[in-house]
Copies of this chain bind each other. A is one copy, B any other.
């Protein structure tokens, strides 16, 4: 009997897709839903609920369930460290967590991965747990990007790589090679909302689409956690912001419900494009 996949789950479609996939491949899954971020769609799977600070509890639950591979997936907002409930293991980790917290999200995540690995688990990425999620390379769906779009993609790829070395964000919007917006803690959706409010002179419209949203991981990113994730709503927001397309680092970003994303892109006239991971580095 294979060991079930250990899934430490926050909110969103990603953990749901991973759980479904693990069951459909016959591996099975044990789901720890994080307290405050419990998705009801995951309630039917074998599993438990635990707080982010209950590190000891998390480890022992996964061990009892016989898990070896563990995946972190889903959206969890940055904890308020003053309000966090800690068990002994969590409390032992806290000074390190606080020391790393200021260095950005990536340092925090790496700390968690290390703790799980030290306890004998094999931490894998969402893309390793569910291989169909990774963006492929080249033109994916919608109209083919033109030379102007490819120039926007090249500039955006360079900008997001540079931002990533500062551990800032995983996305930006470029239109006619001008950087319209940069993503930090507000997330992609809020960034796209504000692009739609910029003066029309600098951006596209639904009638005359211009510009591109580009997503890629940070160069030094712990790729087993927190790869940039896109879905149907991303395609819809890109369309509403008047952009021409969505560019994703091939092999470095996740596409949730890819068939539906492609259908939305065709319907809305948005290109989906997987760019070479070496672009802009």
Contact = CB atoms under 8 A, between A and B. Distances in A.
A281 B9 CA distance: 40
B78 A202 contact: yes
Determine the main DSSP class of A at the interface with B. Answer: loop
B181 A198 contact: no
Interface centre among A83, A180, A186 (most CB of B within 10 A): A186
Interface stretch (A53-61, A99-107, A112-120, A129-137): A99-107
A201 interface: yes
Tell me the number of copies of this protein. 2
Contacts of A185: 178-181, 198, 202
Interface residues of A, number: 40
A222 interface: no
A25 interface: no
A192 to B, nearest CB: 12
Contacts of A13: none
A101 B181 contact: no
The 3 A-B residue pairs with the shortest CB-CB distance, nearest first, are A102-B177, A80-B201, A182-B182
Given A104-B179, A186-B194, A186-B197, 12 more contacts: A78-B199, A80-B200, A102-B176, A104-B178, A105-B178, A162-B166, A163-B163, A163-B182, A167-B179, A169-B182, A180-B184, A186-B198
